[in-house]
């Protein structure tokens, strides 16, 4: 994915400015907790970003209500994207932290229309830990939940 760098002044997040209407965007939907707008870097036509209205850098900082709201809006937008652009598939992409590829430090989900052979490549290594190792991971998470 091409690297986008948020050049907003310190303390003035790009998406907060966009939510406040201080900078223009091609908006497609808005409700109490979310704003959906066209990504200026259209991976494929119909590529939309769904952001929380309140500033939260990552998924971890959203309230449960906000987390539900952004996914409901993403689904609503995805249905509209399917109806309007008829992609072969739709990918949701949501990154938290620079190591995960997050370039704007304000929570957002990409709704990306996908087509066969559209040039997007997404690969990851697939090590296969032993069952007892997986069980150990699961136990740690159950304890944390
Ligand atoms: Zn923000």
pLDDT digit string, tens, across residues 40-53: 999 999 999 999 99
State the Cα torsion 99-102-108-112 to the nearest 10°: -100
* Any domain includes 6: no
* Any domain includes 1: no
Buried b or exposed e, range 41-61, using 16+ CB within 10 angstroms: eebbebbbbbbbbeebbebee
Instruction: Give pLDDT < 50 ranges for the chain.
Output: 1
CA distances from 108 to 68, 83, 87, 129 (A): 13, 22, 21, 31
CA of 18 to the centre of ligand 1 (A): 9
* Any domain includes 4: no
Q: How many domains does the chain divide into?
A: 1
CA of 142 to the centre of ligand 1 (A): 32
CA of 45 to the centre of ligand 1 (A): 25
Tell whether pTM > 0.85: yes
* Any domain includes 9: no
* Any domain includes 3: no
Name the residues annotated as catalytic. Answer: 108
* Any domain includes 77: yes
Query: What's the CATH number where 90 sits?
Result: 3.30.428.10
Domain that holds residue 23: 14-144
């Amino acid at each position: 994915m091409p690297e986008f760098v948020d050049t907003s002044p310190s303390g003035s997040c790009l998406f907060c400015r966009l939510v406040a209407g201080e900078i223009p965007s091609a908006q497609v939907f808005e409700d109490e907790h979310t704003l959906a707008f066209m990504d200026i870097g259209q991976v494929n036509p119909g590529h939309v970003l769904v952001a929380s209205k309140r500033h939260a850098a990552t998924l971890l900082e959203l309230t449960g209500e906000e987390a539900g709201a952004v996914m409901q809006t993403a689904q609503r937008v995805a249905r509209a994207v399917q109806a309007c652009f008829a992609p072969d598939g739709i990918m949701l992409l949501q990154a938290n932290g620079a190591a995960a590829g997050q370039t704007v430090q304000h929570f957002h989900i990409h709704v990306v229309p996908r087509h066969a052979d559209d040039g997007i490549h997404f690969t990851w290594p697939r090590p296969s830990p032993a069952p007892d190792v997986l069980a150990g991971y699961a136990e740690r998470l159950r304890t944390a939940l």
